Amino acid sequence: MLIKSAKFSLSSPTVTLCPQSQLPEYAFIGRSNVGKSSLINMLAGTTIAHTSSTPGKTRLINYFLINQEWHLVDLPGYGWAKVRKTERENFGKMIEEYISQRQQLRCLFVLIDIRLEMQAIDRQFMEWLGENDIPFVIIFTKADKLSKAQASEKLATYQLAMLENWEEMPMYFVSSSAKQTGKEEILAYIDTLNQLQ
């Protein structure tokens, strides 16, 4: 898919203040620092989302309008230890409400750092999605940090861990924002979903 235009639309603290338009949207969720905002920049082909090596950079629901036709949605990360408990609970509530209520959401992408074993917080989050019948697609991030062989090994281990709780491995992509890998595949998938009515 060709990206002709990409621009920031708005930041929202609650699902009720998200755009009223019926444009399809694609949201990115995962632990703080996993690379959500970087992935959005890679897909958009321009730096529209703020990234940082310090976890907790994204704190609102951020909308980016692509080709005047659909939205990329950057969500705050979960599992960030250095915020006050009340703030963490607010983040959790904002994310849960967004995911369970937003009709325009065509696909939720759950980002997982390819280098790590399955983290309890990711497992819990994906279980919550399952319990709430919310389909999701996994994107493994930071693939540039591993060799091809190491990446395959990590993927195989991750699939085994997923199969302890899931009947089958969800659809997944492997990406690197640093090396621009996975971009075409993810955009092609979004394009397919955009065509569905």
**Under the rule (CB under 6 A), what is the footprint of ligand GTP?**
32-38, 51-53, 55-58, 76-77, 141-142, 144-145, 176-178
DSSP 132: T
Question: What ranges make up the beta strands (E) of the chain?
Answer: 6-12, 25-30, 61-66, 70-74, 105-113, 136-141, 172-174
Q: Identify which of residues 45 and 194 has a Cβ nearer to ligand GTP in the complex.
A: 45
Residue 111 in contact with residue 158, Cβ under 8 Å? Answer: no
**Distance between CA atoms of 15 and 137, rounded to whole angstroms?**
21
Q: Identify which of residues 83 and 194 has a Cβ nearer to ligand GTP in the complex.
A: 83
**Distance between CA atoms of 166 and 159, rounded to whole angstroms?**
10
Cβ of residue 20: shortest distance to ligand GTP, in angstroms? 25
Binding partner of 178, given ligand GTP, Mg ion, none, CB within 5-8 angstroms per partner class: ligand GTP
Site string for Mg ion, 26-65 (x = CB under 5 A): ----------xx-------------------xx-------
Cβ of residue 7: shortest distance to ligand GTP, in angstroms? 18
With tokens 């989050």, the residue in question is: 125
Chain contacts with Mg ion (rule: CB under 5 A)? 36-37, 57-58
